[in-house]
Amino acid sequence: MVALTLARRGDHRVTVLDLGGRLEPERRAAQAPLPTDETAWDGRDLGVVTARVPTRAGDRVPQKRVHGSDYPFRDRGQSTGVRGRPADIDLDVASSAYGGFTNVWGTQMMPFAPATFDRLPISWPEMDRHYRTVLEEVPPAGEDDDLAESFPLLHPGSRLHPLGPRAVTVLVRYDAHRTALRQRGSPRAGPGWPCARTPAPAAGCA
């Protein structure tokens, strides 16, 4: 995201080293014509882009697909010498796709918590200025919530997009149980933390 943002500015020249795996042409061809109106979707194209990986015995979560493809997970040499337990997690360590695992998973860019640096040879003040430099180039979208003490907003940014119904439901339930979570020592609701972001003002929050 940083490289893409700088490249779009026009005053930076960005070089990206990437294995460059991309969605197969036949899947791109099937995905491209699918209109917004679901009633007009072609059944054959839909079958191509929604194909799922067969679940193997013992699998808890099947590997995610992108328009039916596993291309972000393919080993194009990036996993050479990497070993894990079980062995089939090796390909999930590094992606060979152009853009990496952002093709598969949504993500957020967050700094390490200041307390993390208590155990490292570099201090939080040393890293803080670098985090702020990055955020000058890629302004964040975020708001203060119950994580603010461990993950403070280091740069003013835009507000988050409107929440979907499921997210609103989660936050309402969280707000209703904030006191109990605080008593249990939940890292999301420690004593003195600011109120969580909720669709309406939270009653009695600390």
Q: Is 194 a domain residue?
A: no
> Does pTM surpass 0.75?
no
Q: Is 157 a domain residue?
A: yes
Q: Coil, strand or helix: which one is 201?
A: coil
Q: Are residues 51 and 132 in the same domain?
A: no
Of 6-15, 90-99, 166-175, the range with the lowest mean pLDDT is: 90-99
Each residue's pLDDT tens digit, 192-202: 333 333 333 33
Q: Are residues 92 and 120 in the same domain?
A: no
Q: Are residues 67 and 87 in the same domain?
A: yes
Q: Are residues 78 and 164 in the same domain?
A: no
Task: State the pLDDT confidence band at 57, using cuts at 50, 70 and 90.
Answer: low
Compute the distance between CA of residue 101 and CA of residue 179 in angstroms, rounded to an integer.
Answer: 36
Q: Are residues 120 and 99 in the same domain?
A: no
Of 33-42, 90-99, 179-188, the range with the lowest mean pLDDT is: 179-188
pLDDT at 85: 64
Q: Please state, rounded to an integer, the average pLDDT across all residues of the chain.
A: 76
Buried b / exposed e across 15-52, counting CB within 10 Å, b at 16+?
eeeeeebebeeebeebbeeeeeeeeeeeeebeebbeee
Q: Coil, strand or helix: which one is 20?
A: coil
pLDDT at 9: 83
pLDDT at 24: 92
Higher pLDDT, 134 or 17: 134
Each residue's pLDDT tens digit, 80-127: 777 666 655 545 678 889 888 888 887 666 788 888 888 889 999 999
**Own/partner pairs for 189-195, CB < 8 Å, 24+ apart?**
189/146, 190/146, 190/149, 192/149, 193/146, 193/148, 193/149, 194/144, 194/145, 194/146, 194/148, 194/149, 195/145, 195/146
pLDDT at 123: 92
> Residue 69 pLDDT > 70, yes or no?
yes
Q: Are residues 129 and 68 in the same domain?
A: no
pLDDT at 135: 87
The residue to which tokens 């390909």 are assigned? 91
How many folded domains does the chain comprise?
2
Q: Is 202 a domain residue?
A: no
Task: State the pLDDT confidence band at 32, using cuts at 50, 70 and 90.
Answer: confident
Q: Is 189 a domain residue?
A: no
Range of the structural domain that residue 175 is part of: 114-183
